[in-house]
Homo-oligomer: A and B are copies of this chain.
Amino acid sequence: MSGSWPATPFLAVDLTVLDANIERVAGWAEGRGVALRPHVKTHKSPEIAHRQADAGASGITVATLGEAEVFAQDGFDDLFVAYPLWLDDDRRRRLQRLTERARVRVGFDSLDAAERLVGTGAIGLVEIDSGHHRSGVHPIAAGELAVRAVDAGLEVIGVFTFPGHSYAMGGGRAAAALAEAEALASARRSLEKVGVAAQVVSGGSTPSLSMSASEAGELRPGVYVFNDAQQWELGACRREQIALTCHATVVSHAGGRLVLDAGSKALGADRAAWASGFGRLLDHPDARIVQLSEHHAVAELHGQPLPALGETVRVVPNHACNAANLADEFVIVVDGDPVDTWSVAARGMNA
């Protein structure tokens, strides 16, 4: 497809920016002496994961067994399912097949779930809650859960957390990074107290990455490869570091506003409480998407001249991970030209 653009709306990845993002974070992790295990749920693309591996990633992180299967098929042999999987009989068989060709770590936050992992060949990590209050046990309960899982027959090699409360304005990112460090330190001590070595202490998120005072010896950011309007608004990236955009056509000037053909079915409907809109425009930093339907984005340009009907505009989705999961492929762009397409191979692999 070199040289031609598909019909809008479609997702485009600026390869130069993507590679710079991959390199910068890889260099940062190396400089800091921590392992980088990027979360590939953001892009679901083996091509991008290979670039992360080439830049020094120690392995990859996935959210589901289905994602793990796609990447294992593509040759990735060190996978962390950073999720409290519940294994029914079918998932147990799938996990067993997976561990035959890859080293697979799986998270757990209950003894019931840990017991189901026994005999699958998977290695366990205790999930702790460092303040996001989603899944995970309290850090001081990590040791008891770990030792009971070990007693049940599971190999347990450490703890992990996701500091999702780092998606916050103002001092929230730094506060979350601090809370994460304290929680991981507490969980590590809790494991050591019961005689379980915490070989792996894993954390990290894109917003908290640069301010990480973390105990973590391993970090699992995902969004940093693309960045998005959320990272831009949080101050976790600059405009120039945004690699993923949705190319959209101006279809209407109704009411003196810009109406684009990219809606929530192309961008995702994410809008955090602190977000300034439903997305941004890369080339109009002051504009905001003020209304989003399934196939319309309405942008306010605050008095600036509107791009003409039929023009293409680059939209920055609020949340890159959900936008990527809506597309079958990325159009790869170099110096403003389309040069290739890469499959979003694990799109929809929620199970």
Contact = CB atoms under 8 A, between A and B. Distances in A.
Interface string A92-134: 0000000000000000011011000000000000000100011
A255 interface: yes
* Most-contacted residue by chain B among A65, A250, A291 (CB, 10 A): A291
Contacts of A36: none
A336 to B, nearest CB: 18
Interface residues of A, number: 64
A310 B7 contact: no
A319 B269 contact: yes
A181 interface: no
Contacts of A9: 350-351
A304 to B, nearest CB: 19
B64 A295 contact: yes
Given A91-B7, A350-B265, A350-B266, A84 B251 contact: yes
Contact of A309 (B65, B86, B264, B269): B86
Interface in A145-198: 164
B86 A249 contact: yes
A321 B85 CA distance: 28
Given A113-B251, A268-B264, A134 B296 contact: yes
Given A259-B134, A294-B63, A7 B326 contact: no
* Most-contacted residue by chain B among A9, A249, A351 (CB, 10 A): A351
B112 A309 contact: yes
A254 B295 contact: no
Contacts of A293: 134, 164
Nearest to A328: B348
A325 interface: yes
Given A83-B295, A88-B310, A269-B269, 13 more contacts: A41-B295, A83-B251, A86-B250, A109-B252, A129-B255, A133-B255, A134-B259, A134-B296, A164-B293, A264-B270, A264-B322, A265-B325, A269-B271
